[in-house]
Structure 1
Amino acid sequence: MPSDLVIVYHRQPYEEVEVDGKVEYRENKSPNGIVPTLKSLFGNVPTGAWIAWKQAEDPENPGFEKVIQIDDAYGKYTVSRLPLTKEQVSSFYHITSKEAFWPILHNFKERYNYDPVDWPTFQEVNRKFAEAAAAEANPGAVVWIHDYNLWLVAGYLRALRPDLRIAFFHHTPFPSADMFNVLPWRKEIMQSLLACDVVGFHIPRYAENFVGAAQSLLDVEVTGRRDVPESLMTDGGALSDRRVPHSLRYRDRDITVATSPVGVNVQYIEDLAQSEETAARVAAIREELGDCRLILSVGRTDYTKGGIEQLQAYERLLKARPDLRGKVRLMHVSVMANANMTAYQEVQAGLESLAGHINGLYGSFEWQPLAFISNPVPFKELIAYYQVADVAWITPLADGMNLVCEEYVSARSDGDGCLVLSEFAGAAVVLSDAVLTNPFSHRSMDAAIQRALAMDEETRRHRMASLRAATHRHSVEAWAAEQMRSFDGFGSVLSMTGTE
């Protein structure tokens, strides 16, 4: 059945579990995050559809279910699954998206790898997404495309279905023109994005970079700018801007440029934080720590996350402050997203080597300065560690937003704790009362962690109150509502979802 709202996202909106030889589609283990929020928009829409890919040994196998019907807590909707071979997934996602696009998006030009890219395969996969969306959409329907690995979908979709209202949200940073234009396919990508009615970004800087890149390549006119709200402005911050473009004109079409930082499901995290189960786990962790203060760092194993730089800073801290030995402990969680990629293997090896070096140099039988964890920590358990951690140390070299820091703040229902945050994470624009630091500077990193450890309770609580207010103001629900409101013509959908 054709749909009024079509969401195009590479991930399937559920977990597949095989029970007694039969596949069951279960809701994601954690209702926190983007996927549940997007699914919630289906709740009161007459018809909704989700487009995703699924790896298949034989895409032509007549037994492969390309379209399935889901009826869960979020409503009834269709999922169109595009069967991709292992080779297509590797080319489209692991090579083109991760080896060519990812480093450019995060300003790591030296890691850009053009040679293995099979551009025709990337085009083919994006065209499949566009064709599936075109087949699922009602006349005049809304199609919401997500993230950089689907950059070309909008262009193909506009050609197939000019009647549709197309929006795109960019979940990563968007680089400046001189960086973006390293990509040989820059013009094709930009023309596709400009086929949208709305292009959305987390923060004004990314929107400004997008417009700059567009004007460097095409005849694009900025038809409107507005002041950045105070809630998205840091005084002299690395990613701070005063004004932001919000409307463009290209080929007789008007395009809205929307900025709205994604957040977390604050209420869900607060409920977990206040549960009896979490309280019991918190007590057990504190007993295990004894007199040690806990510094917590959580992220993926990725060169953009600054894990090596952070462990080096921790080693400098222990060297400069002998009084802290035996008194602090760093829990560094770094989970590999893709163990098959050489770049991530190198980062993982470097982290493991440095962690062993620090423990060997400063550890004793009674005290290990560093707990290095490579396996995912269950979210409910992570909430307990957030509540115990005296300091959350989140210092990526570049990050579109970074929601770990917002999870930490949301979990601190006790109103205490200190957040040290890289000023190159998009979240720094929202969480300006964190202790902001420059992860490229030894002096800045060293000063920030020492300041956090020395901060008095009154100051911690004052800052945490402001941080908690910001996470509530910029929750994931607020993000979805703001993005939809920015789209001219979404009103009919919004009136049914209750987000207006």
Structure 2
Amino acid sequence: MAKTIIISNRLPVQLQISNGGITAVPSVGGLATGMKSVHSGGDSLWIGWSGLTDEEIPEELTTEIDTALAEHGSSKVNLTEKEVDGFYYGFSNRTIWPLFHYFLEYSEFELESWEIYKAVNQKFADAILEKADNDDTIWIHDYQLMLVPQMVRAERPDISIGFFLHIPFPSYEIFRTLPWRKEVLLGLLGSDLIGFHTYDYERHFLSSVRRLLGLEVSFNDIYLDERVIKVDSFPMGIDYKKFSDAAKEHSQRSEDQKSELQKRLDTHKKSTPDAKFFLSIDRLDYTKGIAKRLKAFEYFLNKYPHYKEKVRLIILAVPSRSNVPQYQLLKREIDELVGRIN
């Protein structure tokens, strides 16, 4: 029976080693949440990095880890500390992430990181080839794995491959500054279908393909090696019912069942019952505009001082990539802004 193989940098489960044993806990990340219904709704396998480097995994737990992941329909790709540093923290998040979000001043172009990125993408491709049958559907996700489609296509020319980019694709003028721009485009063009969130991202990609590779592009079709590659936009949403039901269930909890966050929100409400609350939830990232949001709130309070103590801004910023310099600087800036405004 044909199956769907989902591939992403991280698996939809988190591994925890404690007391000589291993436990696998479902992840709450955006991709894991968005793809959960697809993964659980049929015959599928999810391939990705477990979150633990080879150096962190005791040899005697290797089989136990594979078993724990298999129970969640997952299979791991092994990565060393050096590979994670060069592939994830290096090329993915110091080159592609800032460049694709138009932060050219943060983009770093290191040949060593690029070489590691290629090697790790090959690892993911090899993991797919090991598990995939010719009638399976391969669904590759996001900017960490943009070379994988062509690597799989080279070995399985007739297999169905889809790719979805969960971040913007920049304009041609920005994308062409990447030294390995043609390699990235050709990697993506190993797919049969390439998806983006919006039409603008789709248009930028098609423009880069036409101008950098000189390929024939007709509307949203790309012609390459007697293949037709479809490109389209697929806005990704959330499972509304799941969030709605969770909110209703949470409101019925007794005091001792409430989360620490809910208790803190309740304290705010009780201290100033007439105050209005602005609640913002983001990952701590320079692309989210958190610092600008705080400065706008400060400006609002200075311009309309009679609203002080009548409105409150609560920002939940989840830390990420804390060993990337730009994220360390961002956290310091936000901490200083919050202290000053308060």
Alignment of 1:485-496 (within 5 A): none
Structure 2: 5+ residue runs without aligned partners?
Answer: 255-261
Higher helix share: 2
Q: What secondary structure sits across from 1:334 in the alignment?
A: strand
Q: Distance in 2 between matches of 1:262 and 1:300?
A: 18
> 2:334 maps to which residue?
351
CA shift, 1:191, in A, is: 0.6
CA contact (8 A) 1:95 1:116 kept: no
Q: Distance in 2 between matches of 1:278 and 1:265?
A: 21
Q: Distance in 2 between matches of 1:159 and 1:60?
A: 35
> 1:158 maps to which residue?
153
CA shift, 1:150, in A, is: 0.3
CA shift, 1:335, in A, is: 2.5
Q: Distance in 1 between matches of 2:272 and 2:167?
A: 36
Q: Distance in 2 between matches of 1:332 and 1:283?
A: 15
> 1:27 maps to which residue?
26
> 1:248 maps to which residue?
222
> 2:205 maps to which residue?
210
CA contact (8 A) 1:95 1:117 kept: no
CA contact (8 A) 2:141 2:164 kept: yes
Q: Distance in 2 between matches of 1:276 and 1:139?
A: 45
1:288 has 2:286 as partner:
no
Q: Alpha carbons of 1:6 and 1:69: their partners in 2 closer, same or farther (altered >3 Å)?
A: farther
Q: Distance in 2 between matches of 1:14 and 1:303?
A: 26
Deviations 1:219-263 (A, max 9, x none): 322223xxxxxxxxxxxxxxxxxxxxx322223210111211111
**Of 222, 235, 249, which aligns to 1:261?**
235
**Of 98, 105, 108, which aligns to 2:103?**
108
Q: Percent identity?
A: 32
Deviations 1:15-37 (A, max 9, x none): 22346432122333x5x843245
Q: What secondary structure sits across from 2:236 in the alignment?
A: coil
Question: Which one-letter code corresponds to 2:309 in the other structure?
Answer: G
CA shift, 1:60, in A, is: 11
Question: Which one-letter code corresponds to 1:25 in the other structure?
Answer: A
Normalised to the residue count of structure 2, the TM-score between the two structures is: 0.88
Normalised to the residue count of structure 1, the TM-score between the two structures is: 0.61
* Superposed structure 1 runs of 4+ greater than 6 Å apart: none
**Of 137, 141, 145, which aligns to 2:140?**
145
Deviations 1:114-144 (A, max 9, x none): 1475222111100010011011111131100
Q: Alpha carbons of 1:156 and 1:101: their partners in 2 closer, same or farther (altered >3 Å)?
A: same
Structure 1: 5+ residue runs without aligned partners?
Answer: 225-245, 360-500
> 1:53 maps to which residue?
49
> 2:38 maps to which residue?
41
> 1:129 maps to which residue?
124
Q: Alpha carbons of 1:71 and 1:64: their partners in 2 closer, same or farther (altered >3 Å)?
A: closer
> 1:15 maps to which residue?
14
Question: Which one-letter code corresponds to 1:5 in the other structure?
Answer: T
> 2:5 maps to which residue?
6
> 1:424 maps to which residue?
none
**Of 274, 286, 295, which aligns to 1:312?**
295
Q: Distance in 2 between matches of 1:69 and 1:346?
A: 38
Q: Distance in 1 between matches of 2:31 and 2:288?
A: 20
